Structure 1
Amino acid sequence: MYRLLHALTARSSVADLLLAWEDLREDLLEETLTIQAIPAPTFAEQERAAYVERRFQALGLADVVQDDLGNVYGRTPGDDPSAPALLISAHLDTVFPAETDLTARREETRIYGPGVGDNSLGLAAMIALAEQISRRRLVPPVDIRWVATVREEGLGNLDGMRRACDRLGGQIGLAIVLEGMGLGRVYHAGLGVRRLRVVVKGPGGHSWLHNGRPSAIHHLLRMGAALVEEIQPPGEPRSTFNIGLISGGVSINTRAPEASLSVDLRSVDGEALAGLEESVRSVIRRYATPSLEISTEVIGDRPSAALPVNHPLVQAAIAALDYAGFHAPLLEIGSTDANILLANGIPTVCIGITTGGDAHTIREHIETTHLAAGMRQLTLLALLAAEHIEAWSDRDQNI
C-alpha cells in the first residue's frame, strides 16, 4: 500500500494539492461556518440542501440534482465513465432543533458551535475537495459521485443513504463517508441498531372516581421494570440495551389513557441484535392483558456490517493517515451512513477531518490545527480509491 501511496504523492499535481491545504484552511473554515449557520434538523434539511446544491452547481459538477428526500448529488466525470464510481458523502442534518442558537465563536485554535463538527465540517470538506479537483483540472480515472445526505441522525434512520443506494448503488465500487470529527480513526464496521417504541393504551379516567381502572402508565412502569431487570445484553459480542424515553399521561389526577417507552438496542453482531430484540419482545408479550392495548413499533433499524481490516480500502485509509501524521490510527465501529453502504456490499470507510469534542451539545467544537492534515488524508484516500477501484471493489479482497 505504501508503494502505491508513494507513487501517487510523487506526481507534481498531487503534491501541489497536498501542500495547498495549509493555505486553504481559512477557506475551509469559512465554508464550514457558512454551513453551520444554516439550521438543518433531521427531516428539515431543505435550506442547507439548497445551499449545497448551489455550491455544486457553482463548481461545475455534472448531474447536480436533489432527489425526493432532499439528498443532493453531483458528479466529477472520470476517464472511464463505464467503470464503477467512487462515492464520497457527508450528511446534511444535525441533532439540533430549528430554534437552536447557532452562533459560533473562535477561541484560539478551537471553533465552537452547534453542529460545527457534526457535520458542517464534513460537508465543507467534501465541497473543498470537489472544488480543488475541478479548479486544478484533475481528471480521476473513474467518476466521483458526491452526495450530501439527509436523515442520518437519530430517527432519520439513515434513510437518506438508503435512498442514495437505491439510486446509485449499482454504479458504486467504493465509498468514503465523511464526518467532521474523528480524525485519526478509521470506521470500517457498522454498529447494528434496532429501536422500538412500545405504546400502552387504556380507558383512562379520574384518579378517584375511576379507581380500579387500569392505568397505561402503571402498566408501562411494571413492564419497563421487568425489561430493566431481565434484559442482560451479552458482553461478547458487545451489545447494549437502553430505555431512553418514557412519556404519557394527561394530568396528575388522571388515570393515564396512554403511555409509551422507547428502547434502543445495539450490537456489533446481527444475530446477537436479533436475539436481544426477541428477548425484549418476549417480555412485552408477557404483559399482554385484555384491559389494555399494547403495540410495538420499529422506529429505527441500522444494519450491522463490516469491512475486513485487511481490505485494501481500510489499509489505504491507514496509510493516508500515516502520511498525514497520525501513525497509530484507531480502527473503529460506528453508526453512520456507512452502515447502509456496507450492508449493500459496497466496501466503505468513514473518516474524520479533524479532532474535536462535545458532539451533539451546544459546546461542540473542532480543532483547527489539524484541518490541513485531515484534508491531506482525504485527498490521498480518495485518489488511491479512484485509481484502484476495480481491484478493490470486492469486499472480501485482501492484501
Structure 2
Amino acid sequence: MEYRVNPDIIKTLEILKSNEQVQKGFDFIEADDANTLRQQKELVLVEAPTFQEEERGKVFAEMLKAEGLTEVQTDRHGNVFGYRRGKGIGPIIVVEAHMDTVFPMGSAVEIVEKDGRIYCPGICDDTRGCVAVLATIRAMNAANIETDSDFLFMGTVEEEGMGGLGGMKKFMLDHPEVGGCICIDGSGMEYITYEATGIRTMAVNFHGIGGHAMGAFGHVANPLHAAARAVAKIGDIEVPAEPRTTYAVSNFHAGNDAGIHAIVKDATIKLNFRSNGQKELEELEAKIKKAIDDACQEETERWGKDTITYDYEDYVDVKAGTQDIKAPIVQSVYQVIKEMGAEPIFGQGGSTNASNPIAMGVPAVCIGGGGQAGGVHTIDEWYDNTDAYKAVQVIYLFAFRWSQRLD
C-alpha cells in the first residue's frame, strides 16, 4: 500500500527546504563533511564498551562544549548532554546517539583505510551517530537557526547488549519534560524505526543437592536435568507470526571439567525473548515460566527425594510499543527523506534508543547517520563515507521541522 503524507506536511517542508537560512545549513553540512569524518576517526579510538563509557563521555562532553551548547553535563547514569536553547515553546526535543560499543577494551586500537573503506571496530555503530549529532549542531549554528523548541543533544550509555537500552530508559524516566526524540544509529538514511520491540533477557538458576554421579544417583534430583527439561519445553512453545515474536535459549551452563563425574548442585540457562506486541511478550513470558516450573516439578517427582528450586536474574526489560504510522513525526521524517532524494523504508519493530520513548508514549524515531557500513558488531566492521553528508542534512531538516510547532 502506498504511503501518503499529509499535504500540509509536504507544503511546510517545501517551504522550509527553500528557505535561505535552511539552504545555508545544507551547504555547510556538505562543506563540513571532511571535518565530521575526522571527528569520527578521533572518537572511535576512545574505546567505550558498554558500562565503560566514561572516557568517551568526557571527550564527547568537550565536543559538545566546543559546538557552543550550554549546560553541558554528565548525569548520574553516565549520559552526556547539553542544550541548544530556542524560544522555549513546547516540550524539549532530544537528538541522541549512543556512545557505547559491543567491543572489549583493546579492540579499537588502529584505523585501516583500504579501497574506500575505513576499518575499525565501532567505526559505524554508533560512532557515526555521535558525530552526526555534532554535525547537526554545527549546521544549526552556521545557519543561525532559531527554533521554537529547546533542543537537548546527547550521547547515551548502555545501549548495547546487556546494557539493554538502559541509558536512554533511565534518562527518560528522569526527564518527563521531553516531548520528542530523534535517535541516530548506524549508517544510511533510508530506514525509519518507529516501533519498539519488547525485550526480556534473563537467567534462570536451578538448584539441588548434588552428589557423586553414581553414588548419589537415585537419591537426589538433578538440576541440570531440570534445566534440560525446561529448555525442551521452551523449544516447543508456539508464538504468533504477527506481531513478530521470538525466543532463544542462548546459554546453558553447569559444573566444570573437574566435576564431570558429579551430579551438579546448580545449573543456569540464559534466554532472550522478544515481541513487537506487549501483550504477546507477556503471554510468552508466562508460558516460559510455566515451562520452567513444570520442568522442576517433573524432575523432583521423577526421583521423589528432594526438591529442585529455581530463581531468576533479570538483565533486560524493554517494553514493546508502537505509534501510528501516520503520526506527524513519522510522516515528517518520511517526507524529509524523500525530499533529500532517497526512498524511505519502514523497519518492522526495532531495538533502538527510540524504544523506551515510544513505549512511554513520547513521539520518537530512529534513523541512520549516513554512509554505508558492513561487518557491524564484528572486528571487521567498516564504514564508507560516500554521500554521508546527505543523512546529516536529513537530520538537520527533520530536527528543524519538528521543532517548529506546526502540528
Deviations 1:364-398 (A, max 9, x none): 2222113011111111111100113xx54xxxxxx
| Paired letter, 1:239 | T
Match of 1:103 in 2: 110
Q: Deviations over 1:221-273 (max 9, x none)?
A: 22212221x21111122211111111221322332222211111111111111
Q: Which residue of 1 aligns with 2:5?
A: none
Cα 1:324–1:108 shift into 2, 3 Å: farther
Q: Is the 8 A contact 1:140 1:383 kept in 2?
A: yes
- 1:273–1:9: structure 2 CA closer, same or farther, 3 Å change rule? same
SS in 2 for 1:287: helix
- Which string of whole-angstrom CA distances, capped at 9 and with x for unpartnered residues, describes residues 43-91 of structure 1? 111111111111112222111111111011100010x225312111111
Task: Report if aligned partners of 2:26, 2:139 keep a CA contact under 8 Å in 1.
Answer: no
By how many angstroms is 1:135 displaced? 4.3
Match of 1:363 among 380, 397, 403: 380
In structure 2, runs of 5+ residues without a counterpart are 1-8, 301-305
Q: What residue number does 1:189 align with? A: 195
**Aligned partners of 2:79 and 2:170: how far apart in 1?**
8
2: CA distance between counterparts of 1:366 and 1:231?
40
**What corresponds to 2:51 in structure 1?**
43
Task: Name 2:253's counterpart in structure 1.
Answer: 247
Give, in whole Å, the separation in 1 of the partners of 2:326 and 2:186. Answer: 25
Q: 1:82 to 1:383 in 2, by over 3 A?
A: closer
Distance 1:295 1:220 in 2: 12
Matching residue of 1:14: 22
**Contact 2:188/2:388 (<8 A) preserved:** no
CA-CA distance at 1:218 after TM superposition: 2.7
Cα deviation, residue 207, structure 1: 3.2
* More displaced 10-residue stretch of structure 1: 96-105 or 314-323: 96-105
| Letter aligned with residue 197 of structure 2 | L
Q: Return the match for 1:224 from 219, 231, 235.
A: 231
- Structure-to-structure mapping, 1:34-113, within 5 angstroms: 34-78=42-86, 80-113=87-120
Question: Aligned partner of 1:360: which letter?
Answer: H
Task: After superposition, give the CA deviation of every residue in 1:333-378 in whole Å (9 maximum; x if it has no partner).
Answer: 2111111111121111100012322221112222211301111111
Measured in 2, the distance between the counterparts of 1:176 and 1:287 equals 44
C-alpha contact 1:231 1:241 (8 A) present in aligned 2:
no
Q: Would the aligned equivalents of 2:83 and 2:153 in 1 still touch at CA under 8 Å? A: yes
Q: 1:109-137: CA deviations, max 9, x gaps?
A: 32222111110000111012113323443
Q: 1:292 to 1:331 in 2, by over 3 A?
A: closer
- Superposition pairs for residues 1-399 of structure 1, below 5 Å? 1-78=9-86, 80-169=87-176, 171-212=177-218, 213-228=220-235, 230-251=236-257, 252-288=260-296, 289=300, 290-354=306-370, 355-388=372-405, 391-392=406-407
Distance 2:106 2:251 in 1: 22
Query: In structure 2, what is the equivalent of residue 395 of structure 1?
Result: none
Alignment partner of 1:41: what SS?
Answer: coil
Gap change, CA 1:236 and 1:362, over 3 Å in 2: same
Identity %: 27
User: In 2, Cα distance between the equivalents of 1:310 and 1:351?
Assistant: 17
Which amino acid in 2 is paired with 1:249? G
In 1, Cα distance between the equivalents of 2:108 and 2:361? Answer: 40
Q: Secondary structure at the match of 1:189?
A: coil
Q: Aligned residue pairs: how many?
A: 387
User: Whole-Å Cα distance in 1 between the matches of residues 398 and 129 of structure 2?
Assistant: 15
1:266–1:273: 8 Å Cα contact kept in structure 2?
A: yes
Matched letter for residue 178 of structure 2: I
Amino acid aligned to 1:358: G
The answer as to whether partners of 2:192 and 2:344 remain within 8 angstroms in 1 is: no
Structure 1 gaps of 5+ residues are: 393-399
Q: TM-score, normalised by structure 1?
A: 0.92
Aligned equivalents of 1:360, 1:331: Cα separation in 2: 19
Contact between 1:188 and 1:314, CA under 8 Å: does it hold in 2? yes
Distance apart, 1:278 and its partner CA: 0.6
Provide Cα deviations, 1:264-297, integer angstroms capped at 9, x if missing partner: 1111111111111111011111123343221123
Give RMSD over aligned pairs: 1.8
The answer to whether the 8 Å contact 2:22/2:143 transfers is no
Whichever residue aligns with residue 85 of structure 2, its letter is P
The alpha-carbon deviation at position 331 of structure 1 amounts to: 4.3
| Structure 2 match to 1:397 | none
Change (3 A) 1:218 1:182: farther
